[in-house]
Every structure is written in C-alpha cells, then in structure tokens.
C-alpha cells in the first residue's frame, strides 16, 4: 500500500518495524533517514519533495513512541556520511565529505570526527548551488539552474525522456543505459563536468582528507569517476586537492539510519559512564 497521508505512512512503517522487531533478539532503537530539509535539533521534516506528508512532522519520534523505542531522524546525506564513517572507507578518517547524487544532490560533511549539520540541520544543500546562470531549468526549490537540474538521476531521466519521446524514471533510465538501449554518453560527460565543479567546491571550502561520491550514475559508465577526478583537479586549489582522495562511496542510506541511532544511543549513555 502506498501511503496517502502521514498517518498511513506511520502505520505502514510501524507494521514493518514490528515485523523486524519480532525477528530480532533485542531492539535498542530506531533510526530513520529522510530526503529534503530536516531540522535535526528536533527531528522534524521541513521540506521533503519526495515524502511531502512528513513536512512539519517528527516521523522518527512519532514512530518511536508507538514502538516504545528511542528514535533519531537524519537527513539522508548526513546519514550517508555516518554510514561511510561506520561501515565504509572513512572508518579512520576524521575530515571527509559525502556527495549524494541521486534524485537530487546532497552533501554530508564530517569535521573533526563530528557530523557538521549547520545551525539547525540544513547544511549540505549543495544541489541548490546555481551553476547555470542563463537559461537554466526550473528546480523544485523554485530557482533556475541549480546543480541538481543538470547532474542527478532526475536530470538524466529528463534528458533521456527528450530522446525517447516518452517519460522515464531514474531507475529505468539507469537500466536502459546499462543495457545499451539508449546512448547517454554525451549527457553523462556533461554531468561529469558539473559534478567536478561540486567536488572542487567541497575541497576548496572544507579541505577534507577524502570526498566520497554516492551515485548510481557510476554503474552506467564506470570511468565516469575518473573524468570527475581529472576535471575537479583543474578547478580545485592544488594544495587541497593533492591531500584529498576522491572515491566512490560504499556506505548506504540504510546503514546511515543504523549508524544514526547507534550514535544517539552512545551519546545518551556516555554521560552516565564518564
């Protein structure tokens, strides 16, 4: 069943969670990640175009109350950052960033071993950086020419739709391209250039030891990452670029939600044992 409102969404999530809890020996907490804008101070969804029924609500806390569990809500890109920290290639890295290129483009940043979320959790909306100043496509945020209008699953699906003469979704276009049923090499090459701009900006601003890129676009053309790295080198400050690795992310959003509740539980217990 596809939820039509917030209460239906909670009911579906509760049923799924209880099934998992019955299969586990002990459940200590609930982690949830949400795309869009999330106020992580109170765990409230502010603006989620893909899950709009969560806007203005605290889905993790509300579900946690139904299940009798502590709960934490994370923005998806921030969750990916924690996933890479706990389960991926950043387990020994204190300063790194994760670029999430999917339906949109998000950024998670770890500084000094701590997740950087900004004043009220809204940091990392790099997908809404203007990169096309003349004639850019309209973005869901209301502006024109945002980064995610030219490099994302959604952008690639739009370009593929123009070629095919019919609408296609992000998952479908990835499969069509992987099977060679549509040639998107020129479009992907253009995306590599825009993604390189974002990578260079992250390197110049945060001076990370590593930038991890999470995207299904690399499944279409595996050498796309090499092009991104080469073009980012042309844009980034040499001293910062030379000390930064650019790699494909290994962590998943599912792992990010788990990592989020692990950190929340650890922080809650730590004061009692120190």
The CATH number of the domain holding residue 13 is 3.30.420.40
Q: Is residue 168 part of a domain?
A: yes
Residue predicted with more confidence, 131 or 258? 131
Q: Is residue 82 part of a domain?
A: no
Share of the chain above pLDDT 70, in %: 96
Rg (CA), the chain: 19
| Res 24 pLDDT > 80 | no
Query: Distance of alpha carbon 111 from its chain centroid, rounded?
Result: 17
Q: Is residue 83 part of a domain?
A: no
Q: Is residue 233 part of a domain?
A: yes
**Distance separating alpha carbons of residues 203 and 245, to the nearest angstrom:** 10
Share of the chain above pLDDT 90, in %: 65
Q: Is residue 260 part of a domain?
A: yes
Q: Read off the tokens for 191.
A: 């995306």
Per-residue pLDDT averaged across 19-31, rounded?
83
Q: Is residue 84 part of a domain?
A: no
**Same domain flag for 151 and 236:** yes
Mean per-residue pLDDT of the chain: 90
Per-residue pLDDT averaged across 37-65, rounded?
91
pLDDT for the residue 272: 45
**Same domain flag for 136 and 95:** yes
**Same domain flag for 156 and 263:** no
pLDDT for the residue 1: 65
Strands, E, within the chain: which ranges?
A: 30-34, 37-39, 44-47, 71-75, 96-101, 105-111, 114-116, 210-214, 245-248
**Same domain flag for 95 and 140:** yes
The number of folded domains in the chain is 2
Per-residue pLDDT averaged across 23-45, rounded?
86
Q: How confident is the model at residue 273 (pLDDT cuts 50, 70, 90)?
A: very low
**Same domain flag for 260 and 162:** no
Q: How confident is the model at residue 268 (pLDDT cuts 50, 70, 90)?
A: low
Q: Is residue 178 part of a domain?
A: yes
**Same domain flag for 99 and 166:** yes
Q: Is residue 212 part of a domain?
A: yes
**Same domain flag for 139 and 191:** yes
**Same domain flag for 122 and 234:** yes
| Res 84 pLDDT > 90 | yes
**Same domain flag for 61 and 104:** no
| Res 194 pLDDT > 50 | yes
**Same domain flag for 93 and 216:** yes
Per-residue pLDDT averaged across 93-112, rounded?
95
Per-residue pLDDT averaged across 181-203, rounded?
96
**Same domain flag for 258 and 244:** no
Choice among 20-24, 80-84, 206-210 with the minimum mean pLDDT? 20-24
**Same domain flag for 107 and 37:** no
| Res 60 pLDDT > 70 | yes
Structural domain span for residue 102: 89-248
| Res 274 pLDDT > 50 | no
Per-residue pLDDT averaged across 103-111, rounded?
94
β-bridge mates for residue 31, sequence order: 72
């Amino acid at each position: 069943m596809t939820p039509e409102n917030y209460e239906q969404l909670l009911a579906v999530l509760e049923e799924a969670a209880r099934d998992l809890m019955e299969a586990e020996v002990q459940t200590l907490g609930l982690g949830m990640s949400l795309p869009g804008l999330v106020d992580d101070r109170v765990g409230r969804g502010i603006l989620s175009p893909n899950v709009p029924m969560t806007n203005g609500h605290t889905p993790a806390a509300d579900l946690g109350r139904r299940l009798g569990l502590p709960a934490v809500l994370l923005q998806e890109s921030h969750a990916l950052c924690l996933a890479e920290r706990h389960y991926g290639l950043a387990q020994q890295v204190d300063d790194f960033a994760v670029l999430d290129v999917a339906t949109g483009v998000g950024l998670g940043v770890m500084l000094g071993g701590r997740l950087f979320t900004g004043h009220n959790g809204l940091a990392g909306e790099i997908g809404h950086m203007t990169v096309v100043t003349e004639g850019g496509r309209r973005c869901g945020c209301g502006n024109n020419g945002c980064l995610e209008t030219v490099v994302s699953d959604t952008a690639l699906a739009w370009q593929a739709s123009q070629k095919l003469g019919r609408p296609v979704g992000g998952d479908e276009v990835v499969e069509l391209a992987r099977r060679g049923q549509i040639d998107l090499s020129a479009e992907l090459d253009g995306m590599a250039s825009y993604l390189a701009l974002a990578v260079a900006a992250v390197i110049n601003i945060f001076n990370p030891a590593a930038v991890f890129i999470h995207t299904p676009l690399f499944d279409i053309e595996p050498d796309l990452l090499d092009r991104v790295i080469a073009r980012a080198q042309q844009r980034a400050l040499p001293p910062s670029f030379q000390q930064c690795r650019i790699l494909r992310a290994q962590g998943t959003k599912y792992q990010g939600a788990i990592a989020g509740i692990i950190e929340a539980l650890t922080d809650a217990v730590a004061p009692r044992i120190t």
